[in-house]
């Protein structure tokens, strides 16, 4: 077997998460992904556990990539980057709109030398429009798209950002889809494509709850899945409480303890107490709880701590927490690629690179430069290794 994107060259000029995540997935699918990093480094180089000078967050999003460290404030640096773009099949960037144009590396400039280039630009609010120049990280888009307000309504707590950067990964994954669609089209036309991906667009497009609010039909949506304490521990039950109650009565003869003439609040509280009694007294251990839920055909999930991903049965079986070279003679944990093909390989292919580690190798393999040819760019290239 071979990797689906084997032979493709990807220049990853993006930073942090929106962009680097797409680059990581392209790398896992077999592309030669070269991360172009400024001398002061991607900010994620200071986040997470430090092993051999490489932090965990940076390692997760850049595993398997190669790295060139280029100072784009110098003409030689821009020239070197443009030369790489001239050889790339794909380019990924997430600068604020206008930055690439000021460098002379906007799509219209790059396509002159490389008409087959597929370029993905990710920004918070798109390439044009009234907010295109706003700085935007994921929390900003979570707030602007209504997610933070909605989560506070559901939890009953104060508005706060959510616990993962969905806006970044949504934009990155939608960008990946766009790149692969453009790659398919290039096979027919021979021409490249520029994809303008706004994080707020990707967020709204992926929001399956939005239509209830647009159409003012919240009363028709399913209830919030309850989390209950059971003899099996804390479980989320993916069902409506009313349906759960009917199933308990039907299959296990649970008696409704609600007093005659009680109001709705009392009725709900009484039935919740009966449910608690069923799951903690009549069900005496984990297996009896699991069997009861299976009898009622109620989907359920353990409310796990995040670090339990190592031992979650399916994740363990599918080896989603894997090991890569930690660049210090050992191995470090990293999340695996989710793609499983019947007749192709996929998956993380190595540890994350040190800054500028592959300056010479990429210059030779992509640009055909020997040491003398590379020397003219040395003032703009840096290499920082432990």
pLDDT digits (tens, 9 = 90+) for 268-294: 999 999 999 999 999 999 999 999 999
pLDDT band with cut points at 50, 70 and 90 for residue 19:
very high
For 358-363, what is the mean pLDDT?
A: 97
Rounded percentage of the chain residues whose pLDDT exceeds 70: 99
What are the residues facing 330 on neighbouring strands?
none
Name the band, by pLDDT with cuts 50, 70 and 90, for residue 233.
very high
Please say whether the structural domain 222-302 has been given the CATH code 3.30.1540: yes
Active-site pick, 168, 240, 256, 325 = 168
pLDDT at 220: 86
What angle is formed at CA 280 by the lines to CA 275 and CA 286, rounded to 5 degrees? 115
CA 65, distance to chain mean position in Å, is: 17
Q: What is the pLDDT of residue 351?
A: 95
What is the per-residue pLDDT for 90?
Answer: 98
Residue 1 in this model has a pLDDT that exceeds 80: no
Examine the residue annotation and report whether 50 is marked as an active-site residue of this protein: no
CB of 203 within 8 A of CB of 145?
yes
- Decide if pLDDT at 385 tops 80: no
Classify each residue of 179-190 as buried b or exposed e, where b means 16 or more C-beta atoms within 10 Å of its C-beta.
bbebbeebeeee
Q: How far, in Å, are 257, 265, 267, 316 from residue 261 at the CA level?
A: 12, 12, 9, 51
- For residues 330-335, average pLDDT: 95
Q: For residue range 255-270, list pLDDT tens digits in order.
A: 999 999 999 999 999 9
Q: Three-class SS of residue 119?
A: strand
Over range 93-111, report the average pLDDT.
97
Q: Which residue has the higher pLDDT, 221 or 352?
A: 352
Residue spans per domain, the chain: 9-209+322-382, 222-302
List C-alpha distances in Å: 355 to 68, 148, 378, 381. 7, 36, 15, 10
Fold of the 9-209+322-382 domain: Rossmann fold (3.40.50)
Q: Residue 355 forms beta bridges with which residues? A: 384
pLDDT confidence of residue 386: 64
pLDDT level of residue 219 (50, 70, 90 thresholds):
confident
CA dihedral of 80, 171, 47, 326, whole degrees rounded to 10: -70
């Amino acid at each position: 077997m071979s990797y689906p994107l084997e032979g493709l060259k990807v220049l990853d000029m993006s930073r942090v998460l929106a962009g680097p995540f797409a680059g990581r997935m392209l790398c896992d699918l077999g592309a030669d992904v070269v991360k172009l990093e400024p001398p002061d480094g991607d900010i994620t180089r200071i986040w997470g556990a430090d092993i051999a000078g490489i932090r965990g967050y940076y390692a997760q999003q850049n595993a398997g990539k190669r790295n060139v460290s280029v100072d784009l404030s110098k003409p030689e640096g821009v020239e070197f980057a443009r030369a790489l773009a001239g050889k790339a099949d794909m380019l990924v960037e997430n600068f604020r709109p206008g930055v690439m144009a000021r460098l002379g590396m906007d799509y219209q400039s790059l396509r002159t030398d490389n008409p087959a280039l597929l370029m993905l630009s990710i920004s918070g609010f798109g390439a044009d429009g009234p907010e295109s120049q706003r700085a935007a990280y994921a929390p900003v888009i979570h707030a602007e798209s209504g997610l933070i307000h909605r989560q506070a309504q559901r939890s009953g707590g104060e508005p706060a950002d959510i616990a993962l950067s969905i806006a970044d990964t949504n934009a990155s994954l939608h960008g990946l889809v766009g790149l692969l669609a453009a790659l398919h089209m290039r096979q027919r036309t021979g021409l490249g494509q520029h994809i303008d991906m706004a994080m707020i667009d990707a967020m709204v497009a992926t929001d399956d709850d939005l239509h209830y609010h647009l159409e003012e039909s919240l009363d028709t949506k399913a209830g919030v899945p309850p989390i209950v304490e059971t003899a099996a521990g804390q479980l989320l039950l993916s069902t409506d409480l009313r349906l759960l109650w009917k199933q308990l009565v039907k299959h296990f003869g649970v008696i409704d303890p609600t007093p005659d003439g009680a109001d709705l609040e009392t009725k709900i509280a009484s039935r919740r107490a009966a449910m608690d009694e069923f799951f903690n007294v009549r069900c005496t251990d984990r297996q009896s709880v699991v069997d009861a839920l299976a009898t009622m055909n109620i989907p359920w999930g353990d409310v796990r701590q995040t670090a339990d991903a190592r031992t979650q049965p399916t994740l363990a079986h599918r080896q989603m927490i894997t090991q890569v070279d930690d660049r210090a003679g050992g191995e470090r944990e990293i999340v695996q690629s989710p793609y499983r093909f019947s007749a192709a390989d996929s998956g993380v292919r190595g540890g994350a690179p040190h800054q500028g580690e592959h300056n010479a190798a990429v210059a030779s393999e992509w640009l055909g430069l020997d040491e003398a040819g590379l020397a003219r760019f040395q003032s703009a290239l840096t290499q920082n290794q432990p």
